[in-house]
Amino acid sequence: MSAPVFCKRQRRGIADCGLVTAGLALSVSIAAAAEIKSINLKDDSVEISISGKIASGDADLVAARIKAATDAGKLVTSVRLNSEGGNLLEGVRLAAVVRSAKLATNVGQNSTCASACFFVFAAGEAKFAYVHARIGVHGASEDGSESRKGTVAMARIAEELTVPSSIIRRMVNTPPNEMTWLSLNDLRLMGADIKHYKNQ
């Protein structure tokens, strides 16, 4: 099961053709991929953990992990995120995988999900964030310069993921070398369930 390469509008409802045709790598670095692990939970379901910079190939790896768990008779229920971003196009592909598999997304206590990672979080069937999680958005860049075309494409994708317009406006208005961190109220507007840390 490989992550789809979309153009115009693909069946999962996320369009990234604008990103492809703009020729945008839109990445911090594609040298090092995120660390992707399958974690067995107490109820015998599986959570996929994505940690580090998002890079080309990560969506295929997550799709493969989902398939392996499913083939072993296990239900993959969620994706745990801790990433400051990376390759935007790959982030959109990851979002498509998450949305297609109807997985919940979860940003844990003191974890970060920003830039390209934000799209993965937004794609969750259900969204969970701990009170001290940091979730951030900003505009797109290409070769170190602000890319209006890329930012417009990002806004369209966010719209398809039903991100509230107030958050999309801040994404579009935040330069790519800055970050707008979302408040708990912003996350609630996205339908996120805010969790409080408990010692276990």
- Domain CATH for 150: 3.90.226.10
200 lies in a domain? no
1 lies in a domain? no
Q: Specify the higher pLDDT residue, 118 or 14.
A: 118
5 lies in a domain? no
β-sheet bridge partners, residue 142: 145
> Into how many domains does the chain fold?
1
Contact call for residues 77 and 98 (beta carbons, < 8 A) = no
Computed from CA positions of residues 98, 99, 102, 108, in that sequence, does the dihedral angle turn out positive or negative?
positive
Question: Mean pLDDT in the chain?
Answer: 85
8 lies in a domain? no
Tokens representing residue 154 in the block = 């990002």
Residue 185: pLDDT above 90?
Answer: yes
In sequence order, what are the residues at sequence separation of 6 or more whose Cβ sits closer than 8 angstroms to the Cβ of residue 190? Answer: 122, 127, 163, 164, 167
Other C-beta atoms within 10 Å of 42: how many?
Answer: 5
Range of the domain at 42: 17-195
pLDDT tens, residue by residue, 76-133: 999 999 999 999 999 999 999 999 999 999 999 999 999 999 999 999 999 999 999 9
Q: How far apart are the first and last CA of the chain?
A: 36
pLDDT confidence of 32, banded at 50, 70, 90? low
pLDDT tens, residue by residue, 36-65: 999 999 898 999 999 999 999 999 999 999
51 lies in a domain? yes
108 lies in a domain? yes
